[in-house]
């Protein structure tokens, strides 16, 4: 369905209650933590992150439940902003940047049109993109720019396009996406909290010195809590082991996506991908987990639904 009224969905109200409760607990915890510095708590990074979550969560929920058109709009915004940040990191020239942005906007509509069109796009666009360095006759850096642009297209538009596949072609896909959103968010939060409080053993010191094995355990705890709180949104008829498998996919995918983005930023000598989201940095700094988790979760759900 192209458009739907989110207010008619029971998922909206139950999700709003869960997310509202979490945000309320987060604000109360912040107030208690900063009670001796009441003048400064509003300027703290944690408060900025909480405010960002407070508008991201309802926008994401409404986009998922609003039909294919709102999901497509959400994906288009993420792709445009994410590719803009990536192109800046990679130092792509304007000609490559504009082509990348234009082709990036094709992935989600292709997924909406048909699964065949979506899976055919990488080969077709790769063939087409090889013409750019040939036509501009850039013998010095043309192939390098092409490689970065092709990776950027696969990394963001195509992997994120699985969001649309899940929404359109997976039974109960809207509920899965809602559960996925909260599980990823809590996985990231728990990884940060556990890693900061208990982290002792470095996970990948050359890529991200602050990431620890204890933080990875936090990824699993947060993902498990998110899936538990959103268990009402999971599709019926799945085997009992779907939920623990879903938790593992979210936790591992969230850590994987975070480390991959760290590798990109270190490779391009950047601290953050941008300044678009207060308390987080760029949009890439916020959706790095989603980029990896969505396709993993999509294939997990399809495999288990086909075997159920």
pLDDT tens track for 138-176: 777 788 999 999 999 999 999 999 999 999 999 999 999
The neighbour count for residue 269, using CB atoms within 10 Å, is 7
Lowest mean pLDDT among 221-235, 239-253, 262-276: 262-276
3-class state of residue 1 by DSSP: coil
Phi, psi dihedral angles at 276 (to 5 degrees): -70, -35
CB 238 within 8 A of CB 308: yes
Ranking 244-248, 276-280, 298-302 by mean pLDDT, the lowest is 276-280
Read off the pLDDT of each residue in 235-239 and give the average, rounded to a whole number.
Answer: 89
What share of the chain has pLDDT > 70, as a percent?
Answer: 92
What is the distance between the alpha carbons of residues 212 and 251, in angstroms, rounded to a whole number?
14
What pLDDT sits at residue 32? 72
β-bridge mates for residue 281, sequence order? 277
- The model's confidence at residue 34, banded by pLDDT at 50, 70 and 90, is low
> Is the Cβ–Cβ distance between 172 and 281 less than 8 Å?
no
pLDDT band at 286 (very low <50, low <70, confident <90, very high): confident
């Amino acid at each position: 369905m192209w458009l739907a009224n989110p207010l008619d969905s029971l998922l909206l109200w139950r999700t709003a209650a869960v997310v509202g409760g979490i945000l309320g607990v987060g604000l109360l915890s912040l107030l208690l933590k900063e009670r001796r510095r009441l003048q400064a708590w509003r300027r703290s990074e944690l408060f900025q992150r909480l405010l960002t979550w407070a508008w991201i969560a309802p926008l994401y929920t409404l986009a998922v439940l609003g039909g294919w058109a709102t999901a497509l709009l959400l994906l288009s915004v993420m792709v445009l902003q994410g590719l803009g940040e990536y192109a800046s990191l990679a130092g792509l020239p304007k000609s490559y940047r504009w082509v990348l942005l234009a082709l990036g906007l094709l992935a989600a509509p292709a997924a909406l049109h048909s699964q065949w069109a979506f899976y055919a796009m990488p080969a077709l666009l790769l063939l087409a993109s090889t013409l750019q360095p040939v036509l501009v006759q850039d013998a010095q850096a043309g192939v390098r720019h092409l490689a970065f642009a092709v990776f950027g297209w696969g990394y963001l538009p195509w992997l994120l396009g699985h969001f649309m596949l899940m929404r359109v072609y997976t039974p109960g896909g809207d509920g899965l996406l809602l559960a996925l959103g909260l599980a990823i968010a809590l996985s990231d939060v728990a990884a940060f909290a556990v890693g900061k409080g208990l982290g002792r053993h470095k996970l990948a010191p050359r890529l991200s010195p602050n990431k620890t094995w204890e933080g990875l355990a936090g990824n699993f705890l947060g993902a498990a809590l998110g899936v538990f709180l959103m268990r009402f949104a999971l599709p019926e008829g799945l085997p009992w082991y779907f939920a623990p498998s879903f938790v593992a996919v979210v936790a591992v995918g969230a850590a994987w996506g975070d480390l991959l983005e760290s590798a990109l930023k270190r490779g391009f000598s950047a601290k953050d991908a941008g300044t678009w989201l207060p308390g987080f940095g760029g949009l890439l700094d916020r959706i790095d987990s989603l980029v990896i988790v969505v396709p993993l979760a999509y294939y997990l759900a399809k495999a288990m639904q086909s075997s159920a």
